[in-house]
Chain A
Amino acid sequence: MRTALLLVICSMLLTLGAPAAIAQDGVTLQFWTRIGGNETANNLVTSLVDEWNEANPDIQIDYLGIPGGEYRTKLLTSIAGGTAPDIVGMDVAIMPQYMGLEALYAVDDLISQEMRADFGEGLWFSNTANGQTFGVPWWSDPSAIFYNKSLLEGAGVEPPETWEDLRNVVEAVTQLTDDPETEVYGVVLPVVGPWVMFIWLPYLWGNGADLVDAYDCAAFNNDAGIEAMQLWVDIFQAGQMPRSAVFGDGTAAITSLFYSDRVGMYTSGPGMYRRALEINPELDLGTIVMPRPEDGNHSAYLGGDNLVILKGSEHPEEAWQFIEWLVDAQRMTELAEANNGLYIAGLITRESAFTDDHFERYAYQQAFAQAQAVGRAPNTVHLSEARMPVWENFQAALDGQMSVEDAMSDAELRVNEITGCDA
């Protein structure tokens, strides 16, 4: 009995002590992404990893697709617990924090000139901090506007090019009906949680302002910033935007209004096209880049994932080999072709990976490619926290509890306190 117990304990200890997976005469690298909840994208990555593993027995990849909601917590706790993966598909929204806190491996020496030149400036911007490069754009999720062609045609208007056009279009679409049961709204400009950053920041950038400047001081409390906020406040207060888009009772509820022909325009990434048509195949969708101020520029928020190597990795060179293989232009093209033009969960990031007839076959992606060319991601280590005062004061201004000027002044003070700016 005692011998049997001893054997059980010994085998348990041996099992616990053994590394999870070691490639024979090689290394096994852990690779995590946040697309575990997106079945199509996750299957694509799984098949890519299988292909790599078959061709590279000495560098095996152990892949884990984490659902988006659990991704940040799992990643952080794994780093704190010393069990972090080697390679991560990192959400560009958290890149600044990880770069600022020196958690990523600098890859400047590994990137070829040819590879660097194949990515747009906006995409590359989210990979850099203090003159160093910490990753490679993998797939991108630029924000642009989907519009309901039937609603806009019904209202006798064209998709907007400028802010003034936007005001006119949303007014015309909203006036299509006044029945509260089937009320139609001109546009959804969400001020729900982080969305305010994804969708409002391009309006701010397009008008020449920013969340913070190079010294991490608030850079939005000026005429350009006030105009950008005033535009949304005017549209909301005129009843041309649903209240749930602003004060938040779930993003799914907001999209459902768009899918059911009750919203003229909706801002999102390219992945929404397929989802929208799956839910409502009758939906007649067009896409445009976000409108620009009369004397300003188009802009966009570039979401998506960068491929990075975490600093704790013991095999950065091998990890880089896998990253280089993943972002190969030919592979990007083939994968997008096999997935109705979508690459992983968004858009192709390498310019040379777009085929000549890509936009003929996937016309809706034209606006997103344009957005990719003019957009960028915010690059401040304080982004997560600094957005909060802006979000709260934005809501207060929309609800009429604060003037836009007061909202901006107060947010400026609070953002500067967070970033430690002593300007």
Chain B
Amino acid sequence: MSRARRFVAGSGSFGRLNRLERRRALWAYLFLSPNLIFVFVFSFIPMLIAFYFALTKYSMLQPPEWVGLDNFERLLRDRKFMISVRNTLHFLGIITPLRLILGLAIAILLDQRLRFRAFFRTVVFLPWITSGVVVASIWSWLYNVDAGLLNYILRVLGLPTSYWLTHQASAMPSIIIAALWRSVGWVVVLYLAGLQGIPTVYYEAANIDGANAWQRFRYVTWPLLRPTTLLILVTTMIGSFQMFDLVYVMTSGGPLNATTVMAHQIYENAFTFLKMGYASAQALVLFAVVASLSVVSFRWIRSDVG
């Protein structure tokens, strides 16, 4: 391992580097500094402030008032917050495998020599760069019980129509479908990059050994896509915990709290009920969950890749 790499990896120390390496490291930090300052000012400092707010009663219109751990105690008795945790896990549990399977399947398809391949790749990726509010509005129209396209098609086909967003049982699956449509393009792009990074010699060797298509996928593609899969898994989990825009626009957490998620509860407490202290406590719980999951996942990735 080079000295510079040791330094970056944390196993070396700045003092042990020679003058040239020190100079290079300083330049590296100089170039990193705009981003580091941004993260420090807009993420790290607000996070520290949120720790303080979580221990206060704070409406944003009056100075914070110290209440100790009251907000956390209240969290345990908050039925709606518990429902939002359950709904978030429900969302996460269903969208994660769907996103992986569908994303990989489309990526494999778009990795073939197809006509208009670039066009299809663009089409698949488009929803990802579309604003969440726009996506939510489009799907709200599609799902509309009385005037929506989906129920119209079902009627034309002679099939029973659905309540979509207007029933407790179908509201969350409807949101998951919209979220999947929006995000699968991003997974496809990552998997495409992963697929194109697999050296063709492995496939040639597998062909010589007489491997069929499934065996090539099972023993070559899938293991070599493992780092990509883990990256998608981690980011999907983090993204699912932060899910907000679709819920806010499409259902406001209803019907009967069937789609309220943690981020929606945090927003509602902070900006609708003016309970920034309590919302900060909820945000810290969310932060702890996401941070723990991230640490575990990245260790897993490191051990797997390393």
Contacts and interface: CB of A to CB of B under 8 A. Distances in A.
Given A72-B271, A385-B273, A392-B256, A249 B164 contact: yes
Contacts of A72: 271-272
A262 B146 contact: yes
A266 to B, nearest CB: 14
Given A72-B271, A97-B274, A180-B155, A249 B251 contact: yes
Contact of A250 (B144, B167, B255, B274): B144
B274 A102 contact: no
A101 B63 CA distance: 10
A193 interface: yes
If over half of A's interface residues share one DSSP class (helix, strand or loop), that class is named, otherwise mixed; here it is helix
Interface string B137-166: 100110111111000000100000001111
Contacts of A257: 146-147
Given A76-B274, A253-B140, A395-B254, A247 B146 contact: no
Interface stretch (A16-24, A206-214, A238-246): A238-246
B96 interface: no
Contacts of B163: 243, 247
A103 B63 CA distance: 11
Contacts of A79: 60-61
A415 to B, nearest CB: 13
A85 to B, nearest CB: 14
A392 B80 CA distance: 11
Interface of A: 72-73, 76-77, 79-80, 97-98, 101-103, 180-181, 183, 192-193, 242-244, 246-250, 252-253, 256-257, 260, 262, 384-385, 392, 395-396, 399, 401
Contacts of B140: 249-250, 252-253
B207 to A, nearest CB: 51
A248 B141 CA distance: 11
Contacts of B254: 192-193, 247-248, 392, 395
26 contacts: A72-B272, A76-B60, A79-B61, A97-B59, A97-B61, A98-B61, A101-B61, A103-B61, A193-B254, A242-B145, A243-B146, A243-B163, A243-B166, A246-B166, A247-B163, A248-B166, A249-B250, A252-B141, A253-B140, A253-B146, A253-B147, A260-B147, A392-B254, A399-B255, A399-B256, A401-B256
A400 to B, nearest CB: 12
Given A79-B61, A102-B61, A395-B255, A250 B166 contact: no
A103 B256 CA distance: 33
Given A72-B271, A249-B140, A392-B256, A256 B147 contact: yes
Contacts of B155: 180-181
A262 B62 CA distance: 48
A384 B146 contact: no
B252 interface: yes
Nearest to B80: A388
Interface string B57-69: 0011110000000
Contact of A101 (B59, B143, B148, B167): B59
Contact of A247 (B166, B249, B272): B166
B146 A250 contact: no
B257 interface: yes
Give the 3 A-B residue pairs with the shortest CB-CB distance, closest first.
A247-B166, A250-B140, A247-B255
Given A101-B61, A101-B62, A384-B273, A253 B141 contact: yes
A249 B145 contact: yes
Contact of A183 (B146, B251, B273, B274): B146
Q: Taking each of B61, B141, B145, B163, which has the highest tally of chain A beta carbons within 10 Å of its own beta carbon?
A: B61
Given A244-B146, A249-B145, A384 B272 contact: yes
A131 to B, nearest CB: 20
B59 A247 contact: no
Nearest to B161: A180
Contacts of A73: 271
Contacts of A244: 144-146, 166
Interface in B159-178: 163-167
A253 B138 CA distance: 11
B165 A248 contact: yes
A24 to B, nearest CB: 33
A308 to B, nearest CB: 13
B255 A248 contact: yes
B152 to A, nearest CB: 8
A396 B61 CA distance: 34
Contact of B144 (A246, A249, A385): A249
B196 to A, nearest CB: 40
B254 to A, nearest CB: 6
Contacts of B144: 244, 249-250, 253
Contacts of B250: 249-250
B160 to A, nearest CB: 11
Among A101, A193, A244: residue with most chain B CB under 10 A: A244
Interface string B31-64: 0000000000000000000000000000111100
Contacts of A76: 60-61, 271, 274
Interface in B229-284: 249-252, 254-257, 271-274, 276
A380 to B, nearest CB: 13
B173 to A, nearest CB: 14
B271 A249 contact: no
B60 A80 contact: yes
B128 to A, nearest CB: 22
Given A252-B141, A253-B146, 17 more contacts: A72-B271, A76-B271, A77-B60, A80-B60, A101-B59, A101-B62, A103-B61, A180-B155, A243-B163, A244-B144, A248-B166, A249-B145, A250-B137, A253-B148, A384-B273, A385-B272, A395-B256
Contacts of A256: 147
A392 B163 CA distance: 18
